[in-house]
Amino acid sequence: MSYMNPTRGRFTALVAVLLLTLATFPSTYALADAPSIDDLVRSINTIWILLAAFLVFFMQAGFGMVEAGFTRAKNAGNILMKNFLDFCIASVGFWVIGFTIMFGAGNALFGTNGILLQGLPGEMAGVPTPAFWFFQAVFCGAAATIVAGAVAERMRFPAYLAYSLVISAFVYPLVGHWIWGGGWLQELGFLDFAGSTVVHAVGGWAGLMGTVVLGPRIGKFNRDGSPNIIMGHNIPLAALGVFILWFGWFGFNPGSTLSGIASDLIAKVAVNTNMAAAIGALTSMLVVWLLYGKPDLGMTMNGALGGLVAVTAPCAFVSTGAAAVIGIISGFVTVFGVKILDNLGVDDPVGAVPVHGMNGIWGTISIGLLHESEGLLFGGGPGQLGIQILGVFTVVAFVSVVMFLFFKVLDRAIGIRVNREEEIRGLDIGEHGLESYSGFQIFITD
């Protein structure tokens, strides 16, 4: 007499029922509910853009750490407060009017529809409009926060908030429309893949105007004009910030493909981004070592950032060898940019102007030289180079004039610099009534 395990028998029966169900299940129902290829592509692109946007958002922390580390302890809270509020103000300003100016339908100078994101199509750049807006909003926040380092340790907090709103809601979106939103420079064929001009040159040259109007910090320059070194209070914190920025740049540049399925382009952009950063750091280190006898960590880190800024515009258009050349030149630009500012009596505490402003120009122009098909050095002729030069210097001139006038008017209206006593005491106490490091300052009372 044979014996069958009851458990095995029940399992066999269950399998038979499932097979019978699948055989009789209407195949048309399954196919009707299956997503189309277009739906899948849209979903992949949306996830990719949002992931990249999250990385770019994290760069706000990187900017904050770099700028706090490169400034003195008595001002660390103030600089972090400014970085924090930059993104808050950029989010609101870009939602209310900035996105309209940048990407709304309009004319060659600015967009006019889409205030509060109303009246826009449900999809832009192949993804839901809210996803595209968020990706662009984090870029806006990055442009705004560059200036915080240039004006560090002496700018009044209310004046800084006013600046942050103006650049986020108006200045940055105008330039963005010209280059990315269908404006006149885009129509000319101007190329800026991820923002060497749109983000970094705008932020860097706005920062220069701020520091020129403010004047240098107390003690930065001697009577003969020679500069003094004012050391930052926490170089490890600054180093952490640089690593965060470097990491976030893999959202900044590869994310600008706006497509999660453009695998070859994403890989190319990522490699070029990393190569320029690494070689920019090495070049800056070697140049400083030769000039001053010591391999300075701060300048080495700024060299990496300079390389990242420079390659942001051309990363999709050049070979890895060309990205290495861009990094080498960015290292020189970073080091000698600091020397030029010191010689001019301009006080930029964190090197924001050389890193972002000067390397933003160099990276944009490099497309006209090193583009794989249109570059002058690759047989493309001078046409693209001319367009790149015209575009970047038009943007620099526009931003410089507008922001210089804005800072001047703001200074007349409310004053943009803290008083001497507050600057010496520290902006943490004077502006915010706090200490970044409890017990750091000792006050003697009667």
Q: What is the pLDDT of residue 388?
A: 98
Q: What is the pLDDT of residue 3?
A: 42
* High-pLDDT (> 90) share of the chain, %: 88
Query: Sign of the CA dihedral 291, 297, 298, 304?
Result: positive
Mean pLDDT of 98-121: 94
**Cβ atoms of residues 68 and 76 within 8 Å:** yes
**Shortest CA distance to 133 belongs to which of 258, 1, 223, 226?**
258
Q: What is the pLDDT of residues 365-387, one digit of tens each?
A: 999 999 999 999 999 999 999 99
Lookup: tokens for 8: 């095995």
Lookup: tokens for 257: 């493909």
Q: What is the pLDDT of residues 209-234, one digit of tens each?
A: 999 999 999 999 999 999 999 999 99
Q: Confidence band (pLDDT; 50, 70, 90) for 438?
A: confident
Q: Who's near 350: CB < 8 A, 6+ residues apart? A: 66, 67, 70, 71, 149, 150, 152
Q: What is the pLDDT of residue 35?
A: 82
Distance of CA 40 to the CA centre of its chain: 29
**Mean confidence (pLDDT) of the chain:** 92
Lookup: tokens for 79: 């600089």
> 4.10.490.10, 1.10.3430.10, 3.40.630.30, 3.30.10.20: which CATH number matches 38-432?
1.10.3430.10
On the question of pLDDT at 24 being above 80, the answer is: no
Q: Which residue has the higher pLDDT, 434 or 322?
A: 322
What are the helix (H) ranges across 26-153? 27-33, 37-69, 76-93, 99-103, 129-150
What's the CA gap between 343 and 317, in Å, rounded?
35
**Shortest CA distance to 300 belongs to which of 221, 244, 235, 356?**
235
Mean pLDDT of 162-175: 97
Q: Which residue has the higher pLDDT, 21 or 182?
A: 182
Mean pLDDT of 113-142: 95
Q: What is the pLDDT of residue 445?
A: 45
**Shortest CA distance to 313 belongs to which of 402, 395, 399?**
395
* High-pLDDT (> 70) share of the chain, %: 91
Give the DSSP H or E segment for 345. none
**Amino acid at position 90, single letter:** A
Total Cβ atoms within 10 A of residue 319: 16
Total Cβ atoms within 10 A of residue 40: 12
Q: What is the pLDDT of residue 38?
A: 87
Q: What is the pLDDT of residues 281-317, one digit of tens each?
A: 999 999 999 999 999 999 999 999 999 999 999 999 9
What's the CA gap between 216 and 206, in Å, rounded?
16
- Whole-structure pTM value: 0.90
**Amino acid at position 438, single letter:** S
**Shortest CA distance to 222 belongs to which of 121, 347, 335, 332?**
347
What's the CA gap between 340 and 322, in Å, rounded?
26
* Residue that the structure tokens 């014996």 belong to: 3
Q: What is the pLDDT of residue 22?
A: 46
